[in-house]
Amino acid sequence: MLDVPQPLLAERHRLGLDVFDEVWEGVLHMVPPPSSNHQLVGTGLTVVLSQAATRRGLVLTYETGLFAADDDYRVPDLIASRPEDRSHRGVDGTAAFVVELLSPRDESYEKLPWYAAHHVDEILIVDPVSRHIELYSGRSGAPIPIEPDPAGSYTLATIGARLSTINIDDGPRLRVEVDGVVTDV
């Protein structure tokens, strides 16, 4: 949205809905609140990945802005960054990895080139319903898909986490192995 009516912005702020908004090169992108599945998977990944990130000198947070400028930022679902890249507003410049959880009609895939242009090491995209995983490297400045290993697992090299999709009686889950500990999310 280019010309956002002030009453709309005020109402979104009053209701706390603006915390998910992003600004892409000066253009406001209003994002709806996440679904229950989205939040369950995001919270589970935060719990499982945060200690591994900390042990590797990274800070992992949920819904934190990654800023290129005041009027150009994205808000991934999870972000792991080096302490020196953090500021009062979020993360400035780049990150070790980001996680985008898909939502209906979201813009996760449109963010891939931006993350890569800002040299985010790894970009993980997860469907919170099917638990399907995609991993991209952004180190080269362009998003490069990472293929799974022969067992169908993906490895977040920045923290050594191995992720795969498994099916159990009550539905699909993410199997996450970090430092020898296996957790299903």
Does 29 share its domain with 46? no
129's tokens: 């319903």
Q: Let me know if 82 is exposed, middle or buried by CB neighbors in 10 A (0-12, 13-18, 19+).
A: middle
Are the beta carbons of 179 and 171 closer than 8 angstroms?
A: no
Domain count, the chain: 2
The amino acid at 151: A
User: Per residue in 88-99, pLDDT tens?
Assistant: 999 999 999 999
Regarding whether 20 and 76 lie in a shared domain, the answer is no
| pTM of the full structure | 0.86
Whether residue 28 sits in one domain with residue 76: no
Say if residue 25 is in the same domain as residue 107.
Answer: no
pLDDT digits (tens, 9 = 90+) for 35-93: 889 899 999 999 999 999 999 999 999 999 999 999 999 999 999 999 999 999 999 99
64, two tokens: 């934190």
Q: Which domain holds residue 11?
A: 1-33
Does 93 share its domain with 171? yes
90 and 125 both lie in a single domain: yes
40 in the same domain as 74: yes
